[in-house]
Amino acid sequence: MCLAVPAKIIKRSEFLGTVDISGVTREVSLMLLPDAVVGDYVLVHAGFAIQAIDEEEALRTLELFKELEQYEIDS
Amino acid sequence: MLLGINTAKDGGIMHNQEELILLGHGSGGRLSHDLIKNIMVSAFANPLLAELHDGARFSIGGTKLAFTTDSYVVKPRFFPGGDIGKLAVCGTVNDLAMCGAKPLYLSAGFILEEGLPVVELKQIVESMRATAKVAGIDIVTGDTKVVERGAVDGIYINTAGIGAVLPQADITARRVKPGQVVIVSGYLGDHAIAVLSERHGLTLPAQIISDCAPLNGLIQELLTEVPAISMLRDPTRGGLATTLNEIAADAGVGIILEESTLPVRPEVQAVCELLGFEPLYLANEGKVVTFVEKEDSEKVLKIMRQHPVSAAACIIGTVTDKTAGQVALRTMVGGLRLLDMLSGEQLPRIC
Amino acid sequence: MKLTAEETARAADFFTQAIAKLVKHPVRLMEVCGTHTVSIFRSGIRQLLPDTVELVSGPGCPVCVTPNEYLDTAIAYSGRKNTILTTFGDMLKVPGSQSTLMAEKTQGADIRIVYSPLDSLAVARENPEKVVIFLAVGFETTAPTAAATILQAEQQGLDNFFVLSAHKLVPPALRTILSAPDIRVDGFLLPGHTAAISGLAPYQFVASEYQVPAVVTGFEALDILQGIYMLLAQIANNKAEVANQYRRVVKPAGNEAACRILQQVYQPAPAIWRGFGEIADSGLVLKPQYSGFDAKARLPLAAVVTREPSGCRCGEVLCGRIRPEDCPHFGLSCTPEHPVGACMVSVEGACAAWYKYGQGRWNYA
């Protein structure tokens, strides 16, 4: 029930944004994420940006996966 | 069976409508296969048809020939990287090449819709001329019909082709054996994505275009240098997964693919993630999958990588004696799961 | 921002080994969301887990849990004069009592697949003399998109756009599962994208009232492995809390703007779930001030004759009472090409996934 894809906002005009996913662009609605700005990474579902992606957390997750033996996993 | 609704004997959903053809029957997946098997193959039944390769092969007066046909109804008729005309020539040329034949002559039948702009027809025919030249074949006979507005969508083309089977070629499922490797000639899904992106409001970067191209030059060189090649097929409708399932079933072998080796462009991957498609089920129009002994694989790769149509060729899997008739995928996280044939057509989804 | 194939394999290896060490006795984990079910199958995760860890599918397939009456009503509307139906692709092949939307489309009904509900507004603008009905199905991830679309339709003054709504909420279904004495679930993998909208609060009761651990999880294979690891670690340590594996997307408060828009247009109501019966406050209906967009209120229709498929056990699959392969129809009289119930043909139906990925009919030897 939840197919959503991370994308970067490259243009914004009121409540319409253009997002870029690996070079592919599409118009999405920003009605559900009104504070989004150009440069933000957002999650896109059914033609809407539905949540912002926290880049710091994203990097932290990536680092965790890369260096698993050295990090303590939250339990 | 009716319109996808079951008639289980214990009183499942009942129906009283007549059976109709669905779009899914044309997708190249299981529905298509069943339709062709149950209706056409069973009616026309003969040993040449039974082989069910990309074309029929037979001898006339000592000369071995290959013969094939295909119809083209692609929409939109002009797409990034080609048009229906280019597709019509490439598709049949490639099917002949997949039979191990040197394509010689094509026929071209046109069904035109009343109201089609002549300038478009000219463009499409010019495309066919140019592609035929690259492929080194002649279009020697044809037919043209015009039907009323609305009876077809602009233009439909059928091409049939004849080629001479190369003496060194022996392309047959019987020669596919465990231990052989599976090589694909390049990136998967480019054609399908180039064709359907506009329909879904997606703008592709300029480098994503249909891979539609004649492969006979490449294949002739491959078969001359590496006659050990046991199988060739182009993964068109239904995608690579469907093609490999057909081969696994025909040859009675298992195939294991390594997900980490599958070549997919990031842009194509992005469209697939957005719409819920899987690259392994998308049509390609300028790719060939090849089966060959491991010791010959380097040679095959070397030849392929020197041709522009196959510069990104790579090994993607192996043939095994386990799971005969089925294709498995070893995933990025190390799980091994079944890779089935396409069922009906892929629909965009949000779940 | 991606991992290499080697890094992915190494990380997966770490999790699978850690999981194997943690599991002392059989555990039953429920993957609530259908998208998780598909992702788990696509990555072959079941093959990596010890036999003692059972992953069971839950009610997170919005199409599967919607009873036939909704489909039958949609099909009836598709036969209405001057009517265009817009729908997500997910709905096309799902069987109603007599037919499917795909079958109706084949016979000439104007049914159009949209990627976004907003696409329906363009259809409505381009066809002012026709009525456009959008099939609004989905959980908390999708409902706000329908709500926003209705607000836009209002702004644009469209009078020929309607929705046939069957939105549902996940937490009430979980409560029903937790309250059922015959369903045992030792831990929940919670849907990452519905939580991205609703936040963590609506799920706290799973731990606080029922003492069952839960982890809000993302959808990449490594996310799911980490989520399973976190669940098993809680179980091993006798803990029960709602943890967040998907921190890069799920914020504790969720998306407040989306929730506000949802609450502006929709209100909770009882809803019937296949397999569960009626669950209080588990569905969303249009608020009275937006009833002008409600197809059922504004477009009269003759009563539809509805029958649930006899012998179909989708309901039991959806609450984790049985596995797809326990159903006598599975793979025999019920296949994706010829389905008896929704679970076999919905893109993320548990039965469809089990069938497509070979579980129950394929084992790599």
pLDDT tens readout for residues C214-254? 999 999 999 999 999 999 999 999 999 999 999 999 999 99
Residue C1 is predicted with a pLDDT of 54
Identity of the residue in B203, B205, B349 whose CB atom sits nearest the CB atom of A3 = B349
ipTM of the complex: 0.92
Residue of A nearest to B198 (CA): A26
| Confidence band, pLDDT 50/70/90 cuts, at residue B234 | very high
Residue C320 region, left (φ>0) first, then alpha (ψ -120 to 50), else beta?
left
Q: Which CATH architecture has domain C21-313?
A: 3-Layer(aba) Sandwich (3.40)
Looking at residue A36, which CATH number applies to its domain?
2.30.30.140
pLDDT at C17 over 80: yes
How many percent of chain C have pLDDT more than 70?
98
CA angle B288-B294-B295, nearest 5°?
115
CA distance B258 to B247: 17
CA distance A56 to chain B (A): 22
C239 shares contact with chain A (CB less than 8 Å)? yes
pLDDT at A30 over 90: yes
Q: Which CATH architecture has domain B58-165?
A: 2-Layer Sandwich (3.30)
Which helix (H) or strand (E) covers residue A50, if one does?
strand A48-52
Residue B152 is predicted with a pLDDT of 92
Q: What is the mean pLDDT of chain C?
A: 92
Residue A3 with chain B: CB contacts under 8 Å: 273, 276, 349-351
B118-148 tens-digit pLDDT: 999 999 999 999 999 999 999 999 999 999 9
Which helix (H) or strand (E) covers residue C152, if one does?
helix C143-155
CA distance C104 to C80: 12
CA distance C343 to C323: 12
Residue C340 is predicted with a pLDDT of 84
CA distance B279 to B31: 19
| Confidence band, pLDDT 50/70/90 cuts, at residue C165 | very high
Q: SS3 sequence, C219-266?
A: CCHHHHHHHHHHHHHHHHCCCCCEEECCCCCCCCCCCHHHHHHHHHHE
Q: Tokens for C295, please give them.
A: 């197809």
CA distance B187 to C179: 51
Whether C309 sits inside 8 A of B333 (CB atoms) is no
Residue C362 is predicted with a pLDDT of 57
C3 shares contact with chain A (CB less than 8 Å)? yes
Chains with 3 or more CB pairs under 8 A to chain B: A, C
| Confidence band, pLDDT 50/70/90 cuts, at residue B351 | confident
CA distance C244 to chain B (A): 21
Contacts of B200 (CB under 8 A, 6+ apart): B271, B274, B275, B348, C115
Identity of the residue in B1, B330, B333 whose CB atom sits nearest the CB atom of C45 = B333
| Confidence band, pLDDT 50/70/90 cuts, at residue B3 | very low
Residue B192 is predicted with a pLDDT of 94
Residue of A nearest to B350 (CA): A3
Tokens 């994203």 identify what position?
A: A58
- Contact (Cβ atoms closer than 8 angstroms) between residue C52 and residue C23: yes
Instruction: Return phi, psi of residue A71, to 5°.
Output: -100, 155
- Give the residue extent of every domain in chain C: 21-313, 314-356
Residue C261 with chain A: CB contacts under 8 Å: 31-32
Does residue B207 or residue C171 have the better pLDDT? C171
C66-85 tens-digit pLDDT: 888 999 999 999 999 999 99
CA distance C365 to chain A (A): 30
Residue C363 is predicted with a pLDDT of 58
DSSP state of C211: -
Which A positions 14-73 lie with beta carbon below 8 A of chain B? 21-27, 44-46
- Contact (Cβ atoms closer than 8 angstroms) between residue B18 and residue C117: no
Which helix (H) or strand (E) covers residue B299, if one does?
helix B294-306
Does residue B5 or residue B185 have the better pLDDT? B185
Total structural domains in chain A? 1
Residue B80: asked if its preceding bond is cis (omega within 30°), the reply is: no
On whether residue A21 sits in a domain, the answer given is yes
Amino acid at A25: T
Contacts of C289 (CB under 8 A, 6+ apart): none
Closest CA to C348 of C86, C69, C141: C141
Does residue B11 or residue C185 have the better pLDDT? C185
**Max CA-CA distance within chain B?**
60
A5 shares contact with chain C (CB less than 8 Å)? no
Residue C230 is predicted with a pLDDT of 97
Residue B33 is predicted with a pLDDT of 84
Instruction: Return phi, psi of residue C93, to 5°.
Output: -100, 5
Whether C191 sits inside 8 A of A34 (CB atoms) is no
Q: How many CA atoms lie within 13 A of C194 on its CB side?
A: 27
Q: Which CATH architecture has domain B173-338?
A: Alpha-Beta Complex (3.90)
pLDDT at B6 over 70: no
Whether B5 sits inside 8 A of C119 (CB atoms) is no
Residue A70 is predicted with a pLDDT of 55
Residue B2 is predicted with a pLDDT of 36
B159-211 tens-digit pLDDT: 999 999 999 899 999 999 999 999 999 999 999 999 988 777 788 888 899 99
- Strands across the sheet containing C187-191: C53-60, C27-33, C187-191, C214-217, C242-244
Interface test with B, best of C35, C63, C75, C115 (most B CBs within 10 A): C115
| Average pLDDT estimate for B274-297 | 95
Residue B276 with chain C: CB contacts under 8 Å: 89, 347
CA distance B80 to chain A (A): 14
- Contact (Cβ atoms closer than 8 angstroms) between residue C132 and residue C84: yes
| Confidence band, pLDDT 50/70/90 cuts, at residue C359 | low
B29-45 tens-digit pLDDT: 788 888 988 999 999 98
- Give the residue extent of every domain in chain B: 58-165, 173-338
Does residue A75 or residue B37 have the better pLDDT? B37
Residue B5 is predicted with a pLDDT of 43
Lowest mean pLDDT among A21-35, B2-16, C254-268, C331-345: B2-16
Residue B12 is predicted with a pLDDT of 32
CA distance B265 to chain A (A): 9
Amino acid at C70: Y
B64-78 tens-digit pLDDT: 999 999 999 998 999
Residue of A nearest to B271 (CA): A24
CA distance B288 to chain A (A): 26
The secondary structure of C64-128 as a DSSP string is: TTS-HHHHHHHHHHHTSTTEEEEE-GGGTT---SS--HHHHHHTT--EEE-SSTHHHHHHHHH-T
Give the bridge partners for C358, in sequence order.
none
Distances (CA, A) of B201 to B31, C112, C116, C144, C148: 28, 14, 10, 21, 19
Whether A31 sits inside 8 A of C117 (CB atoms) is no
CA distance B119 to C160: 39
| Confidence band, pLDDT 50/70/90 cuts, at residue C356 | confident
Residue B13 is predicted with a pLDDT of 36
Lowest mean pLDDT among B15-19, B341-345, C9-13, C97-101: B15-19
Domain that holds residue A24: 5-70
A31 shares contact with chain C (CB less than 8 Å)? yes
Q: What is the mean pLDDT of chain B?
A: 90
Residue C119 with chain A: CB contacts under 8 Å: 47
| Confidence band, pLDDT 50/70/90 cuts, at residue B226 | very high
